Chains A and B, each alone.
Chain A
Amino acid sequence: MGFTLRVWGDYACFTRPEMKIERVSYDVITPSSARAIFEAIHWKPAIKWVIDEINVIKPIKFQTILRNEVNNIISEKAIKNSIKNPNDSFYIDTNKNRQQRNSMILRDVEYVIKAHFEMTKYAGESDDEKKHYNIFLRRARNGECFNQPYLGCREFSCNFELLEDEDFLPLNETKDLGWMLYDIDFVKESDSYKKVEKYNPIFFRAEMVEGKICIPKDLQKGVNK
């Protein structure tokens, strides 16, 4: 069962995996990032969001921003050490672990995304399509969400609105967007939805035809079964 969601925001960064040290955004939102927006509103292991269509409403514009960031992450060993020796406090020294990283981000974006959900094998007895449909419908209408959805990075939060009858006008532009990330295929280890064995990035040839990007059906079926 499907929904149409209008999302918009001042900035967005859908980082290209090949250029992620100095982030460079894709031209448009990736299906994986769009999925996360739906999941921020409603998700349970019982359902899986599948993106059908992305409509680009506003012209594609870029801007760069350089920020001071840290170049370290917490290691498991350090935490374990600190648990064992409570007096050994530790932290990241921002003056020493500084890294200036440039990001090429999108400005002033708006998309209309069509998506539907499917039931998964983790659905319990009380899970049926109608229930999840209604939960999402109610939340999206009222602006309720689990956490504020965002456009690629959390500092670029996004506004959302459920489109029920209203029409929208996609950007009148046709462009080959090249190879783009569809989603990460989370290969599960066992029956638990949590235990992921492998993360396989899956790419597709994205083409924007008069502002519209359609997601190939075989990808929808094949990835994250």
Chain B
Amino acid sequence: MSLNKRYEFVILFDVENGNPNGDPDAGNMPRIDPETGHGIVTDVCIKRKIRNYIEVVEGEKQGFDIYVKNGAVLNEQHRKAYEAFDLKPENKKLPKDEKVAKELTGYMCKNFYDIRAFGAVMSNEVNCGQVRGPIQLNFGRSIDPIFSQDLTITRCAVTNIKDLEKGQTMGRKQVVPYGLYRMEGYVSAHLAEKVTGFSEEDLNILWNALINMFEYDHSASRGKMATRKLFVFEHETSLGNAPSYKLFDLIKIERKDKSKPARNFGDYEINIDDNNLPSGVKLIEKL
């Protein structure tokens, strides 16, 4: 069934001794807002994790393929796809026929979860080769300014034989001792219904993905990351019953003891002002 309600969500995730999202501009140090020192996690970083989760957990199901993948599996099909992908100038034109174009986008939406959720640019013309998905994510920001540390590590083996006499090589690791991040997102029922066919089942999978995405993303650089809270605002109607910023403002997160730096989730207090919840909006605490 297609979605018929608008949703907004607030997701809280934290990191312990890890790097949630490296900045390629700053030698892979954690992203920081230069003005305030708050940590940033980009929307695309989280979208990547959602895609990876879907691929691992739902990937076997028909219609849950992922279009933008990490290329871990290299097989024959993949190579073929590459040949098909070779964009030559004469292919750059959109099919003039509206019906054909619609068929193509419909096929893509039906088969790929990420296209259904986030949309995709399927041609370089603006007309109908481009779908906007219902899910929209903002940048995630840390509640407090983050402190990031550059740790030097050593490796007792060397890569090149000529370095053998050095004995060991040095490397670097960038970590945030602790950071609690807040990210906000939107689900447009209209784009779900009219454009990509994102369904209620898809939405439930999205909530699961948001809750569990870090469980499938452990690595040496991430440290301990986890989704801590997922608040969902459900409107009664597809257009919504209240402005989103008013809903987001109902959830306040503060550090309990301002004199000490935060080192775990327990150092924060979450206040939900649900007395002021506008009528027609339901707050669901998914996690």
Contact = CB atoms under 8 A, between A and B. Distances in A.
Interface of A: 10-11, 61, 63-70, 72-83, 87-96, 100, 102, 107, 139, 142-148, 150, 154-157, 159-161, 184, 194-196, 199
A73 B127 CA distance: 15
A147 B91 contact: no
Given A11-B139, A68-B24, A145-B239, A93 B69 contact: yes
A163 B245 CA distance: 16
A113 to B, nearest CB: 16
Contact of B84 (A70, A78, A156): A78
A184 B125 CA distance: 13
B138 A92 contact: no
Contacts of A88: 77, 80-81, 84
Contacts of B68: 70, 91-92, 94
Contacts of B241: 142-144
A78 B36 CA distance: 45
B244 interface: yes
12 contacts: A67-B44, A70-B68, A73-B120, A79-B108, A82-B111, A90-B77, A143-B240, A146-B190, A155-B43, A157-B244, A194-B128, A195-B98
Given A93-B69, A102-B25, A144-B240, A157 B138 contact: yes
Contacts of B184: 157
A199 B123 CA distance: 15
A146 B188 contact: yes
B123 A76 contact: yes
A81 B35 contact: no
Interface of B: 23-25, 31, 33-35, 40, 42-44, 48, 65-71, 77-78, 80-81, 84-85, 87, 91, 94-95, 98, 104, 107-108, 111, 120-129, 132, 134, 136-139, 141, 184, 186, 188, 190-191, 237, 239-246
A157 B136 contact: yes
B118 to A, nearest CB: 9
A10 B95 contact: no
Given A64-B25, A76-B91, A194-B98, A155 B244 contact: no
B122 A74 contact: yes
B138 A75 contact: no
Nearest to A189: B96
Contacts of A73: 87, 120-124
B85 A75 contact: yes
A88 B35 CA distance: 48
A77 B138 contact: no
B166 to A, nearest CB: 30
